[in-house]
Structure 1
Amino acid sequence: MNRAEREAVARRIMEQSPPVVPPGLYADVLRRGGRMLRRRTAARRLMWLVLCAAAVAFTVWALTVRPWVEPPSETTPPLTGWEGW
């Protein structure tokens, strides 16, 4: 099928009358669309809640453990200069 034939077929399809839409389709689409929006909203809120909970948990952990502080030395330094006392 060359380009001219494809264009002719496309013109014939576009000139036809549009298909008849079932009467209950609009109501079904509105119901499903509303349900999808509610699910997306709930998922987005859940994602933000989990993100905030993770941030709070990390902050509490960081404040209690304080990983930026150098841990105390496990060995004592050699004592020098005390023999003279």
Structure 2
Amino acid sequence: MNRPQREAAARRIMENTPPPVPPELHAEVVRRGGRIRRRRRVAMLLMWLLLVAATVAFVVWAVTVQPWVEPPSETTPPLNGW
């Protein structure tokens, strides 16, 4: 099928009237949409809670371990010149 034939077929398809939509379809779509929206809201809430928990855990770890402080020396330097 070459390009003019594809274009003609596409025009024929677009010129046809769309098939009728079943009346019960609207209620089903609204129900599914509400469920998807609730699931996304719960997922976003869980992601934010996880982010907050990870931040709190990191802050608590950083305050207790203090990785920015140099660890104390385990040996004393030699004392020369006394």
**Unmatched runs of 5 consecutive residues or more in structure 2:** none
| Equivalent residue number for residue 70 of structure 2 | 70
Q: For residues 1-85 of structure 1, what are the structure 2 equivalents within 5 Å? A: 1-80=1-80, 81=82
1:39 and 1:59 map into 2 onto residues whose CA distance is 30
TM-score by length of 2: 0.88
**Unmatched runs of 5 consecutive residues or more in structure 1:** none
**Which residue identity lines up with residue 63 of structure 2 in the other structure?**
L
TM-score by length of 1: 0.85
RMSD: 1.2
Q: State the structure with more CA Rg.
A: 1
Paired positions, count? 81
Shift of 1:37: 1.0
**Which residue identity lines up with residue 44 of structure 1 in the other structure?**
M
The one-character-per-residue Cα deviations of 1:18-70 (angstroms, maximum 9, x if unpaired) are: 10111111111111111111111111111111011111111011111111111
Which shows bigger deviation, 72-81 or 51-60? 72-81
**Which residue identity lines up with residue 64 of structure 2 in the other structure?**
T
| Percentage of identical aligned residues | 70
